[in-house]
Amino acid sequence: MYRILDILKKETGFISGEEIGKRLEISRAAIWKGIKKLREEGYEIEAVTNKGYRLVLHETMYNEKEILSDLKTKKMGKKLYFYKEVGSTNDVIRQFALDGAEEGVLAITEMQNNGRGRRGKPWVGPAGTGIWMSLLLRPHIHPSEASVLTLIMGLAVQEAIQKVTGISADIKWPNDVLVDNKKLVGILTELDCEINEVQSVTIGVGINVNTAVFPEEIADIATSLYLASGRTFSRKMLVHEILQIFEVYYDRFLTSREGFAPFLDAYAKKCITLGKKVRVEGRVSFLATAVSVTPQGELLVRREDDGKEEVVFSGEVSIRGGQ
């Protein structure tokens, strides 16, 4: 059926079934069967007697075929698994990793019904509105270095959003991207490792793209690109840009061996956490001012109680008066 699709894409008008049959050396019945399958996947194809078929192109088409089309990465996403619905794309990729899948494998779903956000909170991705995807990495690094990959992905996502939509989003250390102080993107990184070496890294990205309405319980803290601009956007274009930018940054991270240092300036310009009063949650919670991000990707804060500087490796950091 995809050979039929390729022919339809190249035509500016109608093309007869007879002509399609000649080019592909298939029967009229096979053509109709292929057209039917393409329509089931969501392609809008006009059929007019004595004229033939015409593809009504949609930038919103979102499936394995369309995402792979024109993807310019060398490795990231070149092996892609697309699902109508899964529990969690992170779970899918972690299983692929255990089965020996190569680096760069990508899982994308139209609907995610059991995703995980920060601190294990559920992240539900409704159908047709957002990007819910996870990427498999196999960097030869120490487990302590892996947290930097979350920040690198955050930077790549923010830049891709700016490039594709023109919307200037902010980064909240370590794993959220915000617009108007509301959550637009969540990033969840999970490791499988031994004591001194990472076996695999799964990076999950959830983006509210064309969501028009959120459930009441999160409507005041969540947003989408649509709500921020009043426009809908191509999810395929966003996936392409994210993968392309991340691949460049990931290669830089591996070759420089300088941790997050090569990205500090760009990250600091977009990180809304820096300079703000924050509350650090943990075994002992405290108030502080976020000072900077270290070359290891940690957050350096200055405590309010004694003025001492302290490095925050992980955990929950909330901006006072914000998210």
Domains of the chain listed by start with CATH number: 2-56 (1.10.10.10), 64-269 (3.30.930.10), 273-319 (2.30.30.100)
| pLDDT digit string, tens, across residues 266-309 | 999 999 999 999 999 888 889 999 999 999 999 999 999 999 99
In the numeric block, the tokens 């991270």 are attached to 253
The residue-averaged pLDDT of 185-208 equals: 94
Q: Which residues pair with 108 in a beta bridge?
A: 82, 133
Collapse the DSSP code of 45 into the 3-class scheme (helix H, G, I; strand E, B; otherwise coil) and give the result: strand
pLDDT for 31 equals: 92
Reported confidence tier of residue 42, pLDDT bands at 50, 70, 90: confident
Angle between helices 17-24 and 2-10 (to 10 degrees): 120
CA distance 85 to 111: 5
| pLDDT digit string, tens, across residues 102-142 | 999 999 999 988 765 555 555 555 678 999 999 999 999 99
**pLDDT above 90 for 148:** yes
How many Cβ atoms from other residues are within 10 Å of residue 71's Cβ? 17
CA distance 112 to 123: 8
**pLDDT above 80 for 145:** yes
| CB contact burial 221-242 (16+ within 10 A = b; e otherwise) | ebbbbbbbeeeebbbbbbbbbb
Average pLDDT taken over every residue of the chain: 91
Angle at 152 between CA 146 and CA 154, to 5 degrees: 115
The residue-averaged pLDDT of 192-214 equals: 94
For residue 153 the two structure tokens come to 């992905």
Continuous segment of H or E residues that includes residue 221: none
Collapse the DSSP code of 135 into the 3-class scheme (helix H, G, I; strand E, B; otherwise coil) and give the result: strand
Reported confidence tier of residue 322, pLDDT bands at 50, 70, 90: low
CA distance 26 to 185: 46
CA distance 203 to 116: 12
Task: Transcribe 74-119 into DSSP letters.
Answer: SSTTSSEEEES-BS-HHHHHHHHHHTTPPTT-EEEES-EEEEE-GG
List the alpha helices (DSSP H) in 195-258.
225-229, 235-256
CA distance 203 to 148: 11
CA distance 189 to 294: 19
Using a pLDDT cut of 70, give the percent of the chain over it: 94
- Please state the length of the chain: 323
Reported confidence tier of residue 321, pLDDT bands at 50, 70, 90: low
Collapse the DSSP code of 216 into the 3-class scheme (helix H, G, I; strand E, B; otherwise coil) and give the result: coil
**pLDDT above 80 for 58:** no
If one compares 194 and 167, the residue with the highest pLDDT of the two is 167
